[in-house]
Amino acid sequence: MLLGKQKSIIKKYLKSHVESNKHTLFGNTKMKILNLRDTHFRGKNSVHRIGDMYQDVLTKFDEILELSKSCDIVVHDGDVFDSPHVSNTVIDDVIDRIEDIGIHWHITPGNHDMGGANWEASKSSALAHTFRRSIYIHELKKILEFKKEKVVIYPYPYYFGVEEEIKKIGLKHKHSGYYTIASTHAFISIKPFLKQVLHVQAKNIKTNSNYSSWKNSRRL
């Protein structure tokens, strides 16, 4: 359970993070994007968790949504839910909160959002249902271009072995003169990770993106 002081510290960090990640795009054109990932909404408490985990997560989510009011869009890099099958109550809580704010969310599905690491076979999943039901929550499956702001977002959806593919081809794009963002749920680490776990080190990725976001940035 999060205590009052902890809540204040986290809220201060979130606000500071958003304010420090504003990007001025080509002269006077500005676009403010909130980027997050791994929210892992779930209805049940972890056996290792003290207190009410779900309510704690919703409390933090409400703070994030408050920050999103000053943004143009939200980009989520995957693992919205902790499982492809969560209760309707959890789905409703997420959708209702986002729609109350009225900011569009663009999501690259993560491995926890799909069954068997196969998004195409996960059309009955909680996230797929969310995409179908909400007019504010969208699957980021194609290149998302904002011509006026000259911003383009490239999605790299999760599948088993996506890390090896990214290591091979990199995160490279062709939009000359645009501010480019790469959104992926790949396991990208700062330092070497366990060999038996599929991952790619950031230093081994060739990219011309102005900004790259991914699901994890683990260190050992």
Q: For 126-158, what is each residue's pLDDT tens digit? A: 999 999 999 999 999 999 999 999 999 999 888
**In b/e form, how buried is each residue of 132-161, taking b as 16+ CB within 10 angstroms?**
eebeebebbeeebebeebbbbbbbbbbbee
User: Residue 20's pLDDT band (boundaries 50, 70, 90)?
Assistant: very low
Q: Average of pLDDT values for 171-178?
A: 85
pLDDT, tens digit (0-9, with 9 covering 90-100), for 204-215: 999 989 998 876
Per domain, the residue ranges of the chain are 4-213
Token pair listed for 115:
């069954």
pLDDT value of residue 63: 96
pLDDT value of residue 116: 85
Q: Which CATH superfamily is domain 4-213 in?
A: Metallo-dependent phosphatases (3.60.21.10)
Q: Looking at residue 79, what DSSP letter applies?
A: -
pLDDT at residue 61 greater than cutoff 60: yes
pLDDT value of residue 2: 40
